[in-house]
Amino acid sequence: MDLTRFQAMSQAVIDGDREAAAALAREALSRGFDAQAAVENGFIPGLQKVGSLWESGEYFLPELLAAAEAMKAAMAVLRPALEAGREAALSLGKVVLGTIEGDIHDIGKNLVGALLSANGFEVVDLGADVKIDRFISAAEETGASIIGLSALLTTTMLGQKRLVEELHSRGIRGKFKVLVGGAPVTQKWADDIGADGYGENALAAVRAAKALTGRE
Amino acid sequence: MTAAVRPKVELLSPGLIDRILQEAWLILEREGVLFENAEARALFRDAGASVDEAGQRVRIGRRLVEACLSRTPESVTLYDRTGEESFRVGGDDVHFDPGSAGTRVVDHRTGRERPPVSEDLVTLARLADALPNFHFQSTGLVASDVPPVLGDSWRVYLALLYSAKPIVTGTFRVEGFGPMRDMLAAARGGPEELRRKPLAIFDACPSPPLKWSHLTSQSLIDSARAGIPSELISMGMTGASSPATIAGTLVQHVVENLAGLVLCQLAAPGAPVIFGGSPSSFDMRKGTTPMGAIETMMIDMAYAQIGKALHLPTHAYMALSDAKTPDAQAGYESGIGAVLAALAGINVVSGPGMLNYESAVSFEKLVIDDEICGMSYRLLEGITPREDPLAEHLFREFKPETQFLTLPHTRKWYRIEHRQSPLPDRDTYDAWVAAGAKDLPERASERVREILEGTPARRPEAGLADELRRIIVDDARRSGVASLPL
Ligand code: B1M
């Protein structure tokens, strides 16, 4: 694959252009190019550029989320063509994410999800108003390493505690790292309930997730 | 003598209001609004709206909306706990009340946020009762020392015990409505008396975009049937949960609120409804919802103007701030918000005392904001020509040494024309230093202490207090709560 094609891939992510990203990915596959190279030399450098545009204050959330979407679109095309071991190496880990039962606030959770996937995590978003049991079964089924719980109400915060307790009582506490967040949630609450990580905002959530997977 | 001109600001032209409404009619009829609540959908179906049960979607024709609008009272009158003092919510009347449902309180000793406990709710009720420029109180804090299942009714219990002012509140669970209504009815002397003389407003928020949750639909239905005014709190966040443009967000706001209004009228024709909201601009860097942004205030003023055009009472979350302490940012955001809300003639303005978006209450800020609200009311009184002639007679015997301080005209008018404000610093520099060089939050903190030590709470008589206790204990028992902190 030539340099301009890699650049086009980067640019599609930088522009947050989902269609272009998917089209470039399809084109690469149909021409028999190496999927791995497309990801590593094409799309990921785009994501890195987006990160630095964010850091420098040029990019805001809409650009960041659009870039994450474009990346996702490309990966959806390329993933089947990646060798299994290689795919795992590209992912920082799987996160099952959702807002707790009884709570429909999902904007913060969506932001956390978008930034996690923009940073290389594979996010299984269960949506809002999700039962404790569902978090656990989804985590088991997908082989996730992190369960991320968002709660915006003082009532639903308790669900975070219940999930940790439930993991204990099922004897699988050690299998998953628990990451918590949401407006009423504090580091102290996270410590009190024995969660593994806490994010005050979406970027902090990414830092915490990286720390939990030992990728920082 | 002519009356004062009431100062007023409007942001929308009649043409733009019309365009917003036209698009709202179209969306209500074509896309519709999601209602998770089955009883709500049944009410819509019975009224002839097109209901898609599987998708929980209700499409509402303009005719039905207009029929419901014509049944909605143009104003609501709230009465305090004694039933004596009344407040009309309608026209261009403005009533400020503290902001609602804070999950943190700023501890005045440390200046840091902490979870509120029941004592803080008592303090809030007592301050709201004593501060003259809050016409209503609000259940502005959620107590962390009672289990969350009791969070909503416990707030109303303490509000009724420690203040006589009408209450702005809302449910956190469907089961919360019953005990809350029962306590209000007990305070009034019965459900029919409560219907005739409402003592509280219940807030209910649609879930943007275009959805009413099970809980909030039920709150609308239950409140309408009990004659309790519902405040419709649409809260789009520009570019996150509603269109990025202000005019676009207004379209969504109108659609959501009108769908809620129709539900209220279907549940009980003539039910009192307030066209409110808590929309915000969305900070695209921090991912937060700045209530102090000027665009947030512009959305508030504009939907209120549309509410007025629809002949409805109005509400907004204004006069609050995103700052974390009662600092200069808190002052300018709350000050600008209060003045604009007043100039827009918004009937219920919730927000004073609040910091950190809608999540924290500072008692010092509450005292400061009371002053801001007082200034706003004064602004609304406008300039009255007090005498005829206005001043010409004062100059008839004009001499260079004429002293206004000694004129009877001065003594006659200065108290009426000018507010006395002990809170702001109006000392000379030296006097300020001599008095301890205190800044505004320090002086406000002293005022908080003065009120708590010097102004006894307006408690209900013993019979009512017992009855309220019986209701809350009953609710606690049913909710599996063994003990109460107060
Ligand atoms: C997994 O790891 C992690 C790590 C970090 C994580 C994380 C997970 N999740 C979040 N984070 C963190 O990162 C995110 C990005 O930086 C951040 O997420 P946030 O979600 O904090 O931030 C978002 C990007 C922006 N913020 C938000 O989206 C929330 C803003 C406020 C104003 C808010 C909104 C918008 C809404 N609300 Co609601 N709402 C309020 C909120 C007040 C506030 N300032 O928090 C709050 C939370 N609401 C409240 C209430 C009372 C309610 N709300 C309700 C409804 C709604 C809307 C549907 C209208 C709407 C949500 C729309 C939606 N689709 O999400 C009702 C409940 C519905 C329900 N069952 O859930 C209702 C009960 C109101 C009613 N009676 O109708 C209050 C809670 C009080 C309490 N007791 O807990 C409240 C504090 C406002 C208030 N003062 O009254 C961090 O917290």
**CA-based diameter of chain B, in Å?**
85
B237 φ, ψ (degrees, to nearest 5): -120, 115
Nearest to B297 by CA among B322, B274, B327: B322
Q: Does A62 touch chain B (CB under 8 A)?
A: yes
Q: Which of B235, B256, B282 has most ligand 1 atoms within 8 Å of its beta carbon, as the pocket-test mutant?
A: B235
C-alpha–C-alpha distance, residues B378 and A105, integer Å: 39
Whether the CB of B217 sits within 6 Å of ligand 1: no
A181 φ, ψ (degrees, to nearest 5): -170, 180
| CB-based contact B103 A201, cutoff 8 Å | no
CATH code of A184's domain: 3.40.50.280
Whether residue B403 is contained in a domain is answered as no
**Residues contacting residue B464 through CB under 8 Å, at least 6 positions apart:** B186, B187
C-alpha–C-alpha distance, residues A107 and A97, integer Å: 13
pLDDT for the residue B1: 57
Chain A contacts in chain B segment 421-450 (CB below 8 A): none
Structure tokens at A181: 């967040």
Which chain B residues contact residue A155 at CB under 8 A? 148-149, 151, 172-173
For chain B, the average pLDDT equals: 96
| Element housing B273 (H / E) | strand B273-277
Same domain, A190 and A109: yes
Q: State the average pLDDT over residues B281-310.
A: 96
What is the band of B80 on the pLDDT scale with cuts at 50, 70, 90? very high
Whether the CB of A46 sits within 6 Å of ligand 1: no
Same domain, A166 and A186: yes
Q: Which atom of ligand 1 is nearest to the CA of A156?
A: 83
Segment B251-260, tens digit of pLDDT = 999 999 999 9
Task: Out of A41, A62, A89, pick the residue that ends a domain.
Answer: A89
| CB-based contact B207 A60, cutoff 8 Å | no
Same domain, A30 and A46: yes
C-alpha–C-alpha distance, residues B217 and B263, integer Å: 8
Whether the CB of B432 sits within 6 Å of ligand 1: no
B238 alpha carbon – ligand 1 mean position (Å)? 15
Whether the CB of B142 sits within 6 Å of ligand 1: yes
C-alpha–C-alpha distance, residues A107 and A183, integer Å: 11
CB < 8 Å & 24+ apart, contacts of B452-456: B452/B123, B452/B126, B452/B127, B455/B126, B455/B130
Beta-strand pair B360-361/B354-355: antiparallel
pLDDT for the residue A117: 84
Q: Does A113 touch chain B (CB under 8 A)?
A: no
Which chain A residues contact residue B103 at CB under 8 A? 154, 183-184
Looking at the predicted structure, is the pLDDT value of residue A155 above 90? Answer: no
Whether the CB of B198 sits within 6 Å of ligand 1: no
Q: Which residue's CA is the nearest one to ligand 1's atom 91?
A: A182
Beta carbons of A160 and A194 less than 8 angstroms apart: no
Q: Supply the range of the domain harboring residue B93.
A: 1-385+419-486
Number of folded domains that form chain B: 1
Nearest to B319 by CA among B306, B309, B308, B332: B332
B322 alpha carbon – ligand 1 mean position (Å)? 15
Which chain A residues contact residue B213 at CB under 8 A? 104
Whether the CB of A159 sits within 6 Å of ligand 1: no
Residue of A nearest to B115 (CA): A184
A184 alpha carbon – ligand 1 mean position (Å)? 9
Q: Does B103 touch chain A (CB under 8 A)?
A: yes
Same domain, A128 and A63: no
CATH code of A27's domain: 1.10.1240.10
Which chain B residues contact residue A201 at CB under 8 A? 286-287
pLDDT for the residue B183: 98
pLDDT for the residue B303: 98
Nearest to B46 by CA among B64, B66, B73, B27: B64
Tell me the H-state helices in B167-285.
177-188, 191-196, 214-226, 246-267
**Residues contacting residue B442 through CB under 8 Å, at least 6 positions apart:** B436
Q: Supply the range of the domain harboring residue A62.
A: 3-89
Which chain B residues contact residue A108 at CB under 8 A? 287
C-alpha–C-alpha distance, residues A75 and A81, integer Å: 10
How far away is chain A from the Cα of B103, in angstroms, using its nearest Cα? 7
- To the nearest 10°, report the CA torsion of B458, B459, B463, B467: 120
Whether residue B277 is contained in a domain is answered as yes
Task: Out of A40, A60, A89, pick the residue that ends a domain.
Answer: A89
Q: Does B480 touch chain A (CB under 8 A)?
A: no
CATH code of B179's domain: 3.20.20.480
Q: For B285, which DSSP code?
A: T
Q: Reply yes or no: is the peptide bond before residue B209 cis, omega within 30 of 0.
A: yes
C-alpha–C-alpha distance, residues B233 and B181, integer Å: 20
Segment A77-122, tens digit of pLDDT = 998 888 766 666 677 899 999 999 989 899 899 889 988 987 889 9
Task: Tell me if residue B413 falls in helix, strand or coil.
Answer: helix
| CB-based contact A201 B287, cutoff 8 Å | yes
Q: Is A70 left (phi over 0), alpha (psi -120 to 50) or beta?
A: alpha
Task: Tell me if residue B5 falls in helix, strand or coil.
Answer: coil
Show the CA angle centred on residue B8, arms to residues B7 and B13, nearest 5°.
150
Instruction: State whether the Cα torsion B369-B370-B371-B377 is positive or negative.
Output: positive
Structure tokens at B7: 């100062």
Which chain A residues contact residue B361 at CB under 8 A? none
Instruction: State whether the Cα torsion A138-A142-A146-A149 is positive or negative.
Output: negative
Same domain, A97 and A198: yes
| CB-based contact B284 A62, cutoff 8 Å | yes
Q: Does B144 touch chain A (CB under 8 A)?
A: yes
**Residues contacting residue A15 through CB under 8 Å, at least 6 positions apart:** A66, A70
Q: Does B151 touch chain A (CB under 8 A)?
A: yes
Whether the CB of B358 sits within 6 Å of ligand 1: yes
Same domain, A7 and A74: yes
What single letter denotes the amino acid at residue B399? K
Same domain, A85 and A115: no
Whether residue B391 is contained in a domain is answered as no
Segment B218-246, tens digit of pLDDT = 999 999 999 999 999 999 999 999 999 99
- To the nearest 10°, report the CA torsion of B81, B86, B87, B91: 150
Same domain, A151 and A205: yes
| Lowest mean pLDDT, pick from A71-80, B114-123, B375-384, B443-452 | A71-80
Q: Which residues pair with B79 in a beta bridge?
A: B86
Beta carbons of B448 and B363 less than 8 angstroms apart: yes
Same domain, A99 and A52: no
| Lowest mean pLDDT, pick from B176-185, B233-242, B402-411 | B402-411
Number of folded domains that form chain A: 2
Show the CA angle centred on residue B190, arms to residues B185 and B196, nearest 5°.
85
pLDDT for the residue A87: 65
Looking at the predicted structure, is the pLDDT value of residue A187 above 90? Answer: yes
| Lowest mean pLDDT, pick from A203-212, B157-166, B182-191 | A203-212
Segment B31-79, tens digit of pLDDT = 999 999 999 999 999 999 999 999 999 999 999 999 999 999 999 999 9
Same domain, A64 and A169: no
Q: Got the DSSP string for B112-176?
A: SEE---HHHHHHHHHHHHH-TTBSSEE--B--TTS-GGGHHHHHHHHHHHH--S-EEE--SSGGG
pLDDT for the residue A85: 63
Which chain A residues contact residue B284 at CB under 8 A? 60-62
Q: State the average pLDDT over residues B295-304.
A: 98
Beta carbons of A22 and A9 less than 8 angstroms apart: no
Q: Is the ipTM of this complex over 0.85?
A: no
How far away is chain B from the Cα of A201, in angstroms, using its nearest Cα? 8
pLDDT for the residue B482: 92
Structure tokens at B343: 């100039």
Chain A contacts in chain B segment 189-228 (CB below 8 A): 207, 213
pTM of the model: 0.91
What is the band of B399 on the pLDDT scale with cuts at 50, 70, 90? confident
Q: State the average pLDDT over residues A40-46.
A: 93
Same domain, A75 and A99: no
C-alpha–C-alpha distance, residues B135 and B132, integer Å: 7
Whether the CB of B234 sits within 6 Å of ligand 1: no
What is the band of B145 on the pLDDT scale with cuts at 50, 70, 90? very high
CA distances to A183, A191, B20, B236, B271 from B309, rounded to whole Å, are: 36, 52, 12, 21, 19
Nearest to B177 by CA among B231, B226, B213, B124: B226
Chain B contacts in chain A segment 73-92 (CB below 8 A): none
Whether the CB of B205 sits within 6 Å of ligand 1: yes
Chain B contacts in chain A segment 30-59 (CB below 8 A): 57
Looking at the predicted structure, is the pLDDT value of residue A55 above 90? Answer: no
Whether residue B402 is contained in a domain is answered as no
Q: Which atom of ligand 1 is nearest to the CA of B358?
A: 88
| CB-based contact A61 B287, cutoff 8 Å | yes
Task: Out of A28, A54, A89, pick the residue that ends a domain.
Answer: A89
Show the CA angle centred on residue B274, arms to residues B269 and B276, nearest 5°.
140
Q: Which of A61, A109, A157 to mutate to test the interface with B (most CBs of B within 10 A)?
A: A61
Looking at the predicted structure, is the pLDDT value of residue A2 above 90? Answer: no
Whether residue B25 is contained in a domain is answered as yes
Q: Got the DSSP string for chain A?
A: --HHHHHHHHHHHHTT-HHHHHHHHHHHHHTT--HHHIIIIIIHHHHHHHHHHHHTTS--HHHHHHHHHHHHHHHHHHGGGS-HHHHHHH--EEEEEEEBTT----HHHHHHHHHHHHTTEEEEE--SSB-HHHHHHHHHHHT-SEEEEE--SHHHHHHHHHHHHHHHHTT-GGG-EEEEESTT--HHHHHHHT-SEEESSHHHHHHHHHHHTT--
Whether residue B396 is contained in a domain is answered as no
Q: Does B61 touch chain A (CB under 8 A)?
A: no
pLDDT for the residue A89: 67
Radius of gyration of chain A (CA): 18
Q: Got the DSSP string for B309-370?
A: HTT--BEEE-S--S-SSSSHHHHHHHHHHHHHHHHTT-SEEE-TTEETTTTEE-HHHHHHHH
Task: Tell me if residue B186 falls in helix, strand or coil.
Answer: helix
Whether the CB of B287 sits within 6 Å of ligand 1: yes
Q: Which residue's CA is the nearest one to ligand 1's atom 61?
A: A105
| CB-based contact A202 B287, cutoff 8 Å | yes
As a whole-number percent, the residues of chain B with pLDDT over 90 amount to 94
C-alpha–C-alpha distance, residues B150 and B175, integer Å: 10
Same domain, A129 and A149: yes
Q: Does A203 touch chain B (CB under 8 A)?
A: no
How far away is chain B from the Cα of A154, in angstroms, using its nearest Cα? 7
